[in-house]
Amino acid sequence: MGDGKPLPMHLKGQLSREIDRLELLATLKGIGPEFASVLAGEALFRHFDNRRQIAADAGLAPSPWRSGSIDREQGVSKSGNPRLRTTMVQAAWLWLRYQPGSALSRWFQERISRNGGRGKKVAIIALARKLLVASGNTR
């Protein structure tokens, strides 16, 4: 620390994990310093208890609608952080371009091919959510 004392073990471990996460982001194709700084500044510095919380924080969580016996999804809520949401959608498109052989890219292509090429907007939001959850700080 600033007073010459060593860092506590748990703090040192947490800092090490955060540095590893940022270094990983920096090495991914299509994730430049701007994307990494938005992710670090808007999402990765916080702790979330589960995947739904981090998706909701970015406005990428599903928004259910129920009325009587009708139960539908209305899309994403968009009630979260617009900067993070926009960045994650852009990152999802770049992921498809620069990581075409990844499991997530194959998942996206399979999902679209089942719908005859329709539903790209819905699928890209789902991919953005998956990427955010994978990079997030959840238990």
Q: Cα(33)–Cα(36) distance, rounded to whole angstroms?
A: 5
The pLDDT value given to residue 56: 86
Mean pLDDT by 10 residues, the chain (139 residues): 77 81 71 79 81 86 73 71 91 92 93 85 92 75
**Residue 88 within a domain:** yes
The pLDDT value given to residue 71: 64
**Residue 3 within a domain:** no
User: Do 56 and 77 form a contact (C-beta atoms < 8 A)?
Assistant: yes
Task: State both tokens at 94.
Answer: 């770049």
Domain that holds residue 115: 11-135
**Residue 126 within a domain:** yes
Q: Cα(108)–Cα(120) distance, rounded to whole angstroms?
A: 9
* Neighbouring residues of 27: CB distance < 8 A, sequence distance ≥ 6: none
How many domains are there within the chain?
1
User: Do 59 and 81 form a contact (C-beta atoms < 8 A)?
Assistant: yes
